Amino acid sequence: MAFPHPPVRIILAKVGLDGHDRGIKVVARGLRDAGFHVIYAGLWQAPEAVVRAVADEDADWLGLSFLSGAHMTQVPRVLELLRQADLGHVGVIVGGIIPPGDVSKLLELGVTGVFGPGTPLAEIADFLRGQSRRGHD
């Protein structure tokens, strides 16, 4: 008897001092409804705590949301901690208010995708499914 593939596991978190979480909660619910196993790590997370959650939950993806402008400080730190923890295979997506000039910088750093406000939830889910089949490359 064949078992279906387990759902793709994604940790969603707000790193740093940004206290606005309405958008990430909408994304969490939308991805859950699309069949993903979603773990919302919550607000005000330290990069180390987020990476520990990724390891503890055996996550396939990490989604970080920023409205505070701290993405160019926090994302490189999270990516480095993931590499140090041998979790470089975990895909990282970023959402929130990201200036257009920073999108290419984040992608060069190793972020797999960047999604701004108003991105349809189906687009994010389809992106994650497509990338998961290709191994985040």
CA dihedral sign, ordered 98, 63, 50, 34? positive
Longest dimension (CA), the chain: 50
Q: Is 80 contained in some domain?
A: yes
Give the structural domain span for 129: 9-134
Q: Is 77 contained in some domain?
A: yes
Per-residue pLDDT of the chain (137 residues; tens, 9 = 90+): 555 678 999 999 999 888 889 999 999 999 999 999 999 999 999 999 999 999 999 999 999 999 989 999 999 999 999 999 999 999 999 999 999 999 999 999 999 999 999 999 999 999 999 997 766 54
Place of tokens 């606005």: 20
| Model pTM score | 0.93
The CATH number given to whatever domain includes residue 15 is: 3.40.50.280
Q: Is 4 contained in some domain?
A: no
Q: Is 2 contained in some domain?
A: no
Q: Is 89 contained in some domain?
A: yes
Q: Is 1 contained in some domain?
A: no
Dist. CA 13–CA 1, nearest whole Å: 37
Number of domains in the chain: 1
